[in-house]
């Protein structure tokens, strides 16, 4: 599941393969960009901002552009050598192909794919809070934003990218387990919000650059509670529980290690897709 560390790693890989190279071809497989041709543009950089990916380009006339994508729950970028088979995902999931003289970058099931002038880049991420993996990370501002809505269940506050950018469901569940906080605890009742934010940063930094994410640091045991429904808690042996709240994200927690309220479940049949103007991801 792509979270802030996944997107950072993706940006790093694309930067290694594409930066400084001129595109020899592009193929957009979404209607609004179907006629776009990036041939001749030079890739300047690729950076992540929370869970957003920004690929910066320069045209031959030196005009600057940014190709924006969001991985959400199921998107990914893969790189291949010229002539290598594209085996990562089914072909019908391809949304964009970028070619250079040495390699190919393929974007699968990407969301919010857009090409804008680089001067408009801030508009794409304007609603985001401090980036946990950003050079301008501001923990005090992240705490302030989280505390601004004291009645919000803490797991919802952590997932709200307006508060801090980069946490997804895996990190939210694991973070709260490590802090011994129940997912439904109102933000105002979280004992040390600054410590929660500090731990979030440490976890993402620890997994930045890793081939596979691990919260526990133990071989073959990547998580404490996430994805471990009905299995014994690694600390106390109590069966891990799960609930699916209205946002559609499954929450995992240990009722013994994390005593307290849990966000109410929503009937799966009643879920609806996000409406237009939904909050930043």
CA-to-CA distance for 206 and 208, rounded, in angstroms? Answer: 6
pLDDT the model gives residue 263:
66
Angle, CA of 118, 121 and 126, to the nearest 5°:
165
- Is 134 among the domain residues? no
Q: Tell me whether residue 81 is in a domain.
A: yes
Instruction: Answer with the one of 71, 93, 125 that is the final residue of a domain.
Output: 125
Q: Considering the domain boundaries, does residue 275 fall inside one?
A: no
Among 127-131, 191-195, 264-268, whose mean pLDDT is lowest?
Answer: 264-268
Residue 173 has which token pair? Answer: 């569940």
Looking at the structure, tell me whether residues 109 and 145 fall in a common domain: no
183, pLDDT greater than 90: yes
Please give the pLDDT value at position 245: 65
More confident residue, 53 or 213: 53
Percent of the chain with pLDDT over 70: 91
Based on the structure, what is the number of domains in the chain?
Answer: 2
Do 159 and 245 reside in the same domain of the chain? yes
Query: Do 211 and 120 belong together in one domain?
Result: no
Considering the domain boundaries, does residue 280 fall inside one? no
Tell me the pLDDT band of 280, cut-offs 50, 70 and 90. Answer: low
The whole-number average pLDDT for the span 204-220 is: 88
Tokens of 98: 């970028």
For 274, half-sphere exposure in the C-beta direction (CA atoms, 13 angstrom radius) is 10
In a domain, 193, yes or no: yes
**DSSP-derived secondary structure letter, 232:** B
Predicted pLDDT of residue 265: 45
Average pLDDT over residues 267-274: 37
Flag whether 166 is in a domain.
yes
- Binned at pLDDT 50, 70 and 90, residue 273 comes out as very low
- For CA atoms 82, 83, 86, 87, the dihedral sign is negative
Whole-angstrom distance, CA of residue 174 vs CA of residue 180: 10
Expressed as residue numbers, the domain containing 41 is: 4-125
Do 96 and 194 belong to one domain?
no
pLDDT of residue 262: 84
Q: Could you say which of 103, 125, 147 is where a domain stops?
A: 125
* pLDDT tens digits for range 219-252: 888 999 999 999 999 999 999 999 986 556 899 9
Q: List 108's β-bridge partners, or say none.
A: 76, 94
Residue 272 pLDDT more than 60? Answer: no
Residue 105 has pLDDT above 60, yes or no: yes
Work out the average pLDDT over 150-162. Answer: 96
Mean of pLDDT over the chain: 91
Residues that are catalytic: 2-3, 51, 249
pLDDT tens for each residue of 59-92: 999 999 999 999 988 899 999 999 999 998 999 9
pLDDT at 72: 86
- Find the CATH number of the domain harbouring 108: 3.20.190.10
CB of 76 closer than 8 Å to CB of 109: yes
| Residue 223 φ/ψ, nearest 5 degrees | -130, 160
Q: Give the domain CATH number at 195.
A: 1.10.8.50
User: Does position 264 have pLDDT exceeding 70, yes or no?
Assistant: no
Specify whether 250 is located in the same domain as 211: yes
Q: What is the pTM of this model?
A: 0.87
Domain membership of residue 18 (yes or no) is: yes
Q: Judge contact between 252 and 227, C-beta under 8 A.
A: yes
Between residues 111 and 1, the one the model is more confident about: 111
Given this model, what pLDDT does residue 2 score?
Answer: 78
Measured at the CA of 129, the angle between CA 125 and CA 134, to 5 degrees, comes to 80
The answer to whether the CB of 154 falls within 8 A of the CB of 190 is: yes
Closest CA to 79 of 68, 87, 71: 87
- Asked if 116 and 153 sit in the same domain, the reply is no
Residues 62 and 116 in one domain: yes
Whether 117 is covered by a domain: the verdict is: yes
Q: Around 34, how many Cα atoms within 13 Å sit in the side-chain half-sphere?
A: 4
* Block residue for tokens 């408009």: 120
Q: Are residues 198 and 232 in the same domain?
A: yes
DSSP 188-207: GG-S-HHHHHHHHHHHHHHH
List the alpha helices (DSSP H) in the chain: 4-18, 121-125, 139-147, 154-159, 169-179, 193-207
Residues 6+ apart with CB under 8 A from 247: 156, 159
Higher per-residue confidence, 47 vs 244: 47
**Domain C-terminal end among 102, 125, 148:** 125
Q: Does one domain contain both 143 and 266?
A: yes
- What pLDDT score does 209 carry? 85
Burial of residue 231 (number of CB atoms within 10 Å: 0-12, 13-18, 19+): exposed
Q: What is the pLDDT, as a whole number, of residue 269?
A: 34
Rounded Cα–Cα distance for residues 193 and 271 (Å):
31
Residues 165 and 205 placed together within one structural domain of the fold:
yes
């Amino acid at each position: 599941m792509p979270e802030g560390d996944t997107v950072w790693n993706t940006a790093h890989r694309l930067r290694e393969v594409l930066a400084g190279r001129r595109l020899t071809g592009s193929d957009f497989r979404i209607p609004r960009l179907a006629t776009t041709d990036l041939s001749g543009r030079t890739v300047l950089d690729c950076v992540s901002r929370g869970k957003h990916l920004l690929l910066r380009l320069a045209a031959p006339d030196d005009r600057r552009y940014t190709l924006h994508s969001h991985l959400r729950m199921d998107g990914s970028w893969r790189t291949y050598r010229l002539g290598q088979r594209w085996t990562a995902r089914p072909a019908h999931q391809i949304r964009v192909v970028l070619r250079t003289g040495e390699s190919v970058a393929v974007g699968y099931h990407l969301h919010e794919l857009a090409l804008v002038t680089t001067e408009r880049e801030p508009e794409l991420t304007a609603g985001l809070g401090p980036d946990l993996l950003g050079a301008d990370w501001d923990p005090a501002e992240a705490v302030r934003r989280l505390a601004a809505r004291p009645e919000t269940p803490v797991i919802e506050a952590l997932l709200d990218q307006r508060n801090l950018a980069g946490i997804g469901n895996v990190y939210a569940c694991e973070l709260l387990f490590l802090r011994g906080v129940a997912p439904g605890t109102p933000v105002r009742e979280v004992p040390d919000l600054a410590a929660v934010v500090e731990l979030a940063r440490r976890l993402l930094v620890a997994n930045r650059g890793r081939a596979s994410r691990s919260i526990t640091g133990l071989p073959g045991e990547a998580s404490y509670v996430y994805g471990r429904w009905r299995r014994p808690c690694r600390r106390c042996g109590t069966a891990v529980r799960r609930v699916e709240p209205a946002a559609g994200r499954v929450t995992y927690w240990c009722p013994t290690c994390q005593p307290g309220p849990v966000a109410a479940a929503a009937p799966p049949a009643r879920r609806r897709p996000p409406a237009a103007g939904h909050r930043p991801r």
